[in-house]
Amino acid sequence: MDAKQPIALTIAGLDPSGGAGIIADVRTFVHFGARPAAAITSLTFQNSQRVFGAIHESAESLRAQVLPLLEEGRIAGLKIGMLPTADLVVEVARLLAETDLPAPVIDPVLQSGSGYELMEKEAVDALVTDLMSWARLLTPNIHEAEVLTGLEISDEAGMRQASAIIRAMGVPAVLVKGGHLSHQSGERPTHAIDILDNDGQVTVFTGEWIDSPPVRGTGCMLSSAIAACLARGISLEESVQAGKDFVAATIRHAGGVTSLPADAQSAAGN
């Protein structure tokens, strides 16, 4: 094992098709120069088209997966994805309180792209009350930000307002992803906006709108890329930019990750 290679852990669901979840996270960790580790919260039954169902892990089985990993070396980066039940949310909060796991990048996965609910309402409540304050960064998309805040978000001002409200819930930093932002004019968008509120310092990330077939797992890839970069000691703003570049390259190639863009390679130290 390379002593300079940080360990990055993903706690998330397993998508057997590999498009999202733990497989996408591990693939991203490797590309960003981190040694991957993983703990499964749910075994989902899905393909590239839709989710057919899932069997969730218990809090006990999740703990049993994580604790042995902590004996092998310090976890430098942590990404948390699908947490379908309140018991799992509370257990992750306990693990963060009782161990030296780093402050995680949390991707609040509420539903699949096909509309399958991946997080029970009680789990969402537990996310707010028990887990969010442990985060380094929360990465909701527009729908997830609306659920968490009760807002109807239709523009950049709404994204800024949502990020401020979520941060007031105890999260030091929030990245509201604008890829699902509705365009009231009905015209084809020319750019995509993401809003990072890092302890009140707001950074607007503007990128080109890539007209491409839908790519699954982009939220998983972005959050795990950020976690891997943070594990390497890169600043949050630079980590977000590297993650966005990585996802943009993936969308452009829309058939799988074949290479990193130059900026992401630089951030990864490769």
128 pLDDT higher than 50: yes
Per the domain annotation, does 1 fall within a domain? Answer: no
| 3-state SS assignment for residue 227 | helix
Average pLDDT over residues 114-121: 76
For residue 203, give both structure tokens: 């950074």
What is the predicted pLDDT for the residue at 110? Answer: 86
Per the domain annotation, does 154 fall within a domain? Answer: yes
* Order of strands across the sheet that contains 35-46: 51-56, 35-46, 7-14, 75-80, 105-106, 137-138, 173-177, 191-198, 201-208
Per the domain annotation, does 2 fall within a domain? Answer: no
Per the domain annotation, does 25 fall within a domain? Answer: yes
Asked whether 78 and 227 are in contact (CB, 8 A), the reply is yes
Element (H, E) at 119: none
Among residues 148, 154, 81, 165, the alpha carbon closest in space to that of 118 is found at 81
Per the domain annotation, does 181 fall within a domain? Answer: yes
264 pLDDT higher than 70: no
Among 135-139, 213-217, 219-223, the range with the most confident prediction by mean pLDDT is 135-139
User: What span, in angstroms and rounded, lies between the C-alpha atoms of 14 and 52?
Assistant: 13
Give the least confident one: 9-18, 231-240, 245-254: 245-254
Q: Report percent pLDDT > 90 for the chain.
A: 67
What is the predicted pLDDT for the residue at 80? Answer: 98
User: What span, in angstroms and rounded, lies between the C-alpha atoms of 187 and 216?
Assistant: 24
Element (H, E) at 139: none
Residues facing residue 51 across a β-bridge: 46
What is the predicted pLDDT for the residue at 116? Answer: 61
What is the predicted pLDDT for the residue at 49? Answer: 81
Asked whether 220 and 250 are in contact (CB, 8 A), the reply is no
CATH number assigned to the domain comprising residue 113? 3.40.1190.20
What is the predicted pLDDT for the residue at 114? Answer: 56
Per the domain annotation, does 219 fall within a domain? Answer: yes
Asked whether 252 and 239 are in contact (CB, 8 A), the reply is no
Give the least confident one: 16-20, 152-156, 208-212, 242-246: 208-212
Q: Which one has a higher pLDDT value, 168 or 250? A: 168
User: What span, in angstroms and rounded, lies between the C-alpha atoms of 89 and 237?
Assistant: 27
Residue 245 CB partners (closer than 8 Å, separation 6+): 260, 261, 263, 264
Residue 155 structural domain: 7-268
Long-range pairs of 20-24 with CB within 8 A, sequence gap ≥ 24: 20/112, 20/216, 20/217, 20/219, 20/220, 21/81, 21/82, 21/217, 21/220, 22/81, 24/217, 24/220, 24/221, 24/224
Phi, psi of 46 (to 5 degrees): -155, 165
Q: Which residue intervals of the chain are DSSP H helices?
A: 21-31, 59-70, 86-98, 121-126, 142-149, 156-168, 218-231, 236-253, 262-268
Confidence band of 202 (pLDDT split at 50, 70, 90) = very high
Average pLDDT over residues 110-120: 72
What is the predicted pLDDT for the residue at 37? Answer: 97
First vs last C-alpha separation in the chain: 16
Split into its structural domains, the chain has a count of 1
Residues facing residue 202 across a β-bridge: 197
Give the CA dihedral 18, 19, 25, 28, nearest 10 degrees: 100
